[in-house]
Amino acid sequence: MRKRISNKTLLIGGVAALVVLGGGGLYLAMGRSEAPPAASGEAGPADEGGLVEGEAAAPEGFVALSAAQAQAAGLVVVGVGRGGGAETRLAGRVEPMVDARAAVAASVGGRVERVLVAPGQSVRIGQPLASIVSGEAATFRADADAAAAEAEAARQAYQRNRNLAAQGVVARQEVEASRAQLLSAEANTRAARARSGAAGSPSASGRLSVTSPISGVVTSVQVGPGGFVAQGGVVAEVTNPSRVELVFNAPPALAANVRAGAPLRVSGPGGDFDAVVTGVAAGAGVGSGATVIRARPSSGALPPVGSAVTGAIVTGETAGGLTVPTEAVQTVDGATVVFVQASSGFQARPVLAGRQAGGRTEILRGLNGSERVAGANAFLLKAELAKGEAEHGH
């Protein structure tokens, strides 16, 4: 990389050229004012090919560029980052979350009285899907009512004995015995009510509703009015289409190197987007023992369920390492360089590049971490250097 670029180099984005007629020839002023060449037969301020007196030589690999010109050219200047590591690519799919599907079953057997939903209908948590009449459920409700009545009788007996004991009519032992009977009756009531609640909190006639445990869309209805559904039989299926996630299969060794919260770059049918790891399960791959990595998007929306995706995750991160965007690294005359921002342009600085991961490249030597470098569209600076060398060759 041997080239001196003066302020006469054509700048990125274009600099207006002023054409001045003088001395019988054309004079091109490039961004600053210079004296026209001497008249024929007069000595110029410098020998042919030399610098004008007072003009300083630009360093090799320097591209003069103002902040306004850099912005017009679309150059993005970024700071040097920290980290680094290797990139592992994973294959995966968009799948429903574990709690995104519900096969809603009848808790007791009974006759289907009414079906309250249809496939495609949206439902909320707790919304009834079907009404069932069950003799077994009626028994549960009756047991709960009987237990509640016994508990009330025991409560009244205990209160009466307490009052009589205060008057000296009954012994203290009778009060304690009635209290024990009350506690037992209350326990029986709680158990009976729990059985009735598990059966769907039926009415006294055994009528109960089968409700949805999640919000979503009814995907199928398995029963019809007048039919019989057995205990545990599926009444309807509900799916929440918004509860989806990314599921990747990874090598078993990756389980020790990936943690929840790690960033992922995902490529899907609709383009690239960022995601974050939500869970890592070693040996969870069915039949393969592979590590399963689950993630959710941190920007953008997920593709449809079942879509194939690929993910890139950084592993083996190096603490304190320096990184720059991969597009900041350019090759000029066989040397690997990055363009470091200077006061009046960008200086190509040779570096030793390391691993690439997640759209960034490690810099092992050549930067100290305090620099700001050209990232997006840095190739334009490389092109400017090449153009300057071609002009200098003529």
Tokens of 31: 């961004």
Residue 233, C-beta contacts closer than 8 angstroms, at least 6 positions apart: 105, 106, 109, 222, 223
Report for 8-12, 37-41, 277-281: range of highest mean pLDDT:
277-281
> What pTM value is reported for the model?
0.54
Structure confidence at residue 384 as a pLDDT band (50, 70, 90): confident
346 pLDDT higher than 60: yes
* 219-250 confidence digits (pLDDT tens): 999 999 999 999 999 999 999 988 889 999 88
Q: Any idea which fold 100-239 has? A: OB fold (Dihydrolipoamide Acetyltransferase, E2P) (2.40.50)
CB 92 within 8 A of CB 250: no
The domains of the chain are located at 63-84+320-393, 89-97+243-309, 100-239
Q: What is the DSSP letter of 351?
A: -
Q: Any idea which fold 63-84+320-393 has? A: 2.40.420
Q: The domain 89-97+243-309 belongs to what CATH superfamily?
A: Efflux pump adaptor protein, beta barrel domain (2.40.30.170)
Lowest average pLDDT, out of 53-62, 64-73, 87-96, 157-166, goes to: 53-62
* Phi-psi group of 249: left, alpha or beta (phi > 0 → left; psi -120 to 50 → alpha; rest → beta): beta
What average pLDDT does the chain have?
80
What are the φ/ψ torsions at residue 260 (nearest 5 degrees)? -60, 135
- 22 by Cβ neighbours in 10 Å (0-12 / 13-18 / 19+) ranks as exposed
What is the pLDDT, as a whole number, of residue 7? 38
What is the pLDDT, as a whole number, of residue 12? 36
Pick the more confident residue, 180 or 255. Answer: 180
Structure confidence at residue 357 as a pLDDT band (50, 70, 90): low
CB 24 within 8 A of CB 83: no
Q: At what angle do helices 172-198 and 135-166 cross, to 10 degrees?
A: 160
